[in-house]
Amino acid sequence: METSLHWHRTSIIKDLSFFLLVLESLLLFLSLPNCCFAQLKRDYYRDSCPNVESIVRNAVEKKLQETFVTAPATLRLFFHDCFIQGCDASVILASPSGDAEKDAPDDLSLAGDGFDTVIRAKAAVDSVPGCKNNVSCADILALATRDVIVLSGGPNYDVELGRRDGRQSTKASVDHHLPLANFSYKNLEDMFASHGLSQVDLIALSGAHTIGFSHCSQFSKRIYDFSNKSSIDPTLDQEYARQLQQACPRNVDPRIAVPMDPTTPLKFDNEFYKNLLQGKALLASDQALLATRKSRRVVTAFASNSSLFEQVFVASITRLGRVGVKTGNQGEIRRDCRMVN
Ligand code: HEM
Ligand SMILES: *[C@@H]1O[C@H](CO)[C@@H](O)[C@H](O)[C@H]1NC(C)=O
Ligand SMILES: *[C@@H]1O[C@H](CO)[C@@H](O)[C@H](O)[C@H]1NC(C)=O
Ligand SMILES: *[C@@H]1O[C@H](CO)[C@@H](O)[C@H](O)[C@H]1NC(C)=O
């Protein structure tokens, strides 16, 4: 009786503190548009390109029918763009001299299909006379990101618009500004915090690893050279580790990539968190999301309640889409997403 009561009491306290955590995250989401980010608006193109959403959606749909990689490639491109000089499509700028963002080591694995999605959607937008040269590449990337999430089975949401395109893209600006697969929880937390993103944002946005692929080099240490005590990371499910060794033999072709979500790799869902709790997170940085009591509680909640995950993910990706945005007279609306005007 005593133990069961005790258990009950701590569990209520836990639920309450988790509830407050999520509430805090959602309240922040609701309050920010009135406070600091009034520049972005849902209906920004109401007069200058009223059908922009359906034009982009159609272009993305077509591209996705050609290859599924469109979805993870676009989603990751958005993330990398926002973390470097804000969400300003600077990552898409071509590289005449090998010194652009996309030339940085951490961006070399960005799949070409993400870039292609934006180029094609921009062409579709510009083929509508009233819209020509009126919609920024940064906004097209934000819309295309929402579209690939929806088309992969994820939540639908309104995208805030009004970003202007950046004019600068340098390789050096990427150094030490993107998270790596071997980051600790503290490293991840600090880097997200530097963009005004919370631990809940970090955990929700990492759920993007529910789709897409990773090259073997990103996790080979976990299955071959973990430590002097054990070659396999003990936090990995041993059966899963053996499967990974088969897919990624030592000295594997560096182009080989494996799904990051081993159960539903093509579906945007909360399986990432269920896998994580079962030792089936591919990257050490994903495994690191279990590092603290607080973070474990969030992971567990997302694993057990997919609508909670979707709700928080939408709030978090909306906040990601506000990072460092250029608005008003800043930047420009690029005519060609690969070149400054
Ligand atoms: C939290 C820190 C993060 C780290 C350390 C990380 C790291 C990585 C790594 C190493 C890969 C594999 C790349 C490759 O081998 O080609 C990857 C893939 C991917 N990441 Fe992340 N990532 C993080 C957060 C995010 C976020 C916030 C998003 C989006 C909201 C995201 C979206 C993706 C997607 C969709 C892929 C698959 C790409 C594809 O299949 O082409 N990641 N990430
Ligand atoms: C762009 O939007 C404005 C309204 O903001 C509109 O007058 C114009 O026709 C649109 N197209 C071009 C090419 O400027
Ligand atoms: C993390 O990985 C990067 C390369 O991706 C490497 O340069 C760095 O040394 C690694 N850090 C640690 C602590 O292993
Ligand atoms: C799951 O999360 C949703 C959305 O936040 C919430 O309304 C619902 O009560 C939760 N369901 C359970 C079973 O906890």
Q: Which residues make Cβ contacts (< 8 Å) with residue 56, sequence separation at least 6?
A: 121, 124, 125, 140, 143, 144, 147
Residue numbers in the known binding site for substrate are: 179
Residue 227 domain-assigned (yes or no): yes
Q: Is the pLDDT of residue 19 over 70?
A: no
Going by DSSP bridges, is the β-strand pair 257-259/213-215 parallel, antiparallel, or unpaired? Answer: antiparallel
Q: Which residues line ligand 4 (CB under 6 A)?
A: 305, 307-308, 311
Q: Is the pLDDT of residue 17 over 70?
A: no
Question: What are 106-165's pLDDT values in tens digits?
Answer: 999 999 999 999 999 999 999 999 999 999 999 999 999 999 999 999 999 999 999 999
Find residue 41's DSSP bridge partners.
161
User: What is the reported pLDDT for 34?
Assistant: 40
Q: Is the pLDDT of residue 38 over 60?
A: no
Question: What are 252-289's pLDDT values in tens digits?
Answer: 999 999 999 999 999 999 999 999 999 999 999 999 99
Q: Is 292 helix (H, G, I), strand (E, B) or coil?
A: coil
Residue 79 corresponds to which tokens in the numbers above?
């993330």
Residue 32 domain-assigned (yes or no): no
Residue numbers in the known binding site for Ca(2+) are: 81, 86, 88, 90, 101, 210, 261, 264, 269
User: Mean pLDDT score of the chain, rounded to an integer?
Assistant: 92
Report the separation in Å between the CA atom of 182 and the middle of ligand 1, taken as the mean of its atom positions. 12
User: What is the reported pLDDT for 95?
Assistant: 87
User: What is the reported pLDDT for 80?
Assistant: 98
Task: Tell me the best of 18, 24, 305 to mutate to test the pocket of ligand 4, counting ligand atoms within 8 Å of each CB and taking the most.
Answer: 305
Last residue of a domain, one of 174, 196, 213: 174
Statement to judge: residues 217 and 155 lie in one domain: no
Residue 10 domain-assigned (yes or no): no
User: What is the reported pLDDT for 1?
Assistant: 35
CATH, residue 139? 1.10.520.10
Task: Tell me the best of 159, 199, 209 to mutate to test the pocket of ligand 1, counting ligand atoms within 8 Å of each CB and taking the most.
Answer: 209
Please give the biggest Cα pair distance in the chain.
Answer: 74
- Catalytic residue numbers? 80
Q: What is the C-alpha separation between 291 and 271, in angstroms, rounded?
A: 19
High-pLDDT (> 90) share of the chain, %: 88
Q: What is the 3-state secondary structure (H, E, C) of 99-157?
A: CCHHHCHHHCCCCHHHHHHHHHHHHHHHCCHHHCCCCCHHHHHHHHHHHHHHHCCCCCC
Nearest CA to ligand 4 atom 14: 305
Statement to judge: residues 131 and 206 lie in one domain: no
Residue 21 domain-assigned (yes or no): no
Closest CA to 80 of 96, 103, 61, 47: 103
Q: Is the pLDDT of residue 13 over 50?
A: no
User: What is the reported pLDDT for 124?
Assistant: 98
> Would you say the CB of residue 46 lies under 6 angstroms from ligand 2?
no
Statement to judge: residues 191 and 296 lie in one domain: yes
User: What is the reported pLDDT for 30?
Assistant: 56
User: What is the reported pLDDT for 96?
Assistant: 87
Statement to judge: residues 316 and 206 lie in one domain: yes
Where is 239: in which H helix or E strand?
helix 238-247
Q: Is the pLDDT of residue 250 over 50?
A: yes
Statement to judge: residues 291 and 266 lie in one domain: yes
First-to-final CA distance of the chain:
73
Angle of helix 306-320 relative to helix 2-35, nearest 10 degrees? 30
Residue 335 domain-assigned (yes or no): no
| Domain region containing 264 | 185-320
Give the CB-side neighbour count of residue 157, counting CA atoms within 13 A: 22
Report the separation in Å between the CA atom of 181 and the middle of ligand 3, taken as the mean of its atom positions. 8
What's the count of helices (H) and strands (E) in the chain, helices before strands? 13, 2
Residue 336 domain-assigned (yes or no): no
Averaged over 21-48, what is the pLDDT? 70
143 neighbors 304 (Cβ within 8 angstroms): no
39 confidence band (pLDDT: 50, 70, 90):
confident
Among the residue ranges 13-22, 68-77, 171-180, the one predicted with the least confidence is 13-22
Domain count within the chain: 2
**How many residues are given for the chain?**
341
Residue 73 domain-assigned (yes or no): yes
Closest CA to 145 of 132, 161, 131, 133: 161
Check the CA dihedral 217-257-201-34 and report its sign: positive
Last residue of a domain, one of 132, 153, 174: 174
Q: What is the C-alpha separation between 151 and 240, in angstroms, rounded?
A: 28
Q: Is the pLDDT of residue 318 over 70?
A: yes
Give the CB-side neighbour count of residue 138, counting CA atoms within 13 A: 34
Residue 197 domain-assigned (yes or no): yes
Question: What are 181-234's pLDDT values in tens digits?
Answer: 999 999 999 999 999 999 999 999 999 999 999 999 999 999 999 999 999 999
Statement to judge: residues 161 and 193 lie in one domain: no
Statement to judge: residues 82 and 112 lie in one domain: yes
Report the separation in Å between the CA atom of 216 and the middle of ligand 1, taken as the mean of its atom positions. 13
CA-182 nearest atom, ligand 3: 1
270 neighbors 304 (Cβ within 8 angstroms): no
Report the separation in Å between the CA atom of 306 and the middle of ligand 4, taken as the mean of its atom positions. 8
Statement to judge: residues 191 and 124 lie in one domain: no
Q: Indicate which ligand has the atom closest to the C-alpha of 78.
A: 1
User: What is the reported pLDDT for 10?
Assistant: 44
Report the separation in Å between the CA atom of 209 and the middle of ligand 1, taken as the mean of its atom positions. 6
Q: Is the pTM of this model over 0.85?
A: yes
Q: Is the pLDDT of residue 92 over 90?
A: yes
Q: What is the C-alpha separation between 194 and 190, in angstroms, rounded?
A: 6
Task: Tell me the best of 106, 175, 180 to mutate to test the pocket of ligand 3, counting ligand atoms within 8 Å of each CB and taking the most.
Answer: 180
Nearest CA to ligand 2 atom 14: 134
Q: Is the pLDDT of residue 27 over 80?
A: no
164 neighbors 97 (Cβ within 8 angstroms): no
Statement to judge: residues 104 and 149 lie in one domain: yes
CA-134 nearest atom, ligand 2: 1
Q: Where are the alpha helices (DSSP H) in 158-270?
A: 185-193, 199-206, 220-224, 238-247
CATH, residue 245? 1.10.420.10
Q: Within a 10 A sphere around the Cβ of 28, how many other Cβ atoms?
A: 16
Last residue of a domain, one of 174, 207, 225: 174
Statement to judge: residues 202 and 79 lie in one domain: no
Statement to judge: residues 124 and 102 lie in one domain: yes
> Would you say the CB of residue 180 lies under 6 angstroms from ligand 3?
yes
User: What is the reported pLDDT for 37?
Assistant: 53
Written as one letter, the residue type at 200 is V
Statement to judge: residues 240 and 117 lie in one domain: no
Q: Indicate which ligand has the atom closest to the C-alpha of 129.
A: 2
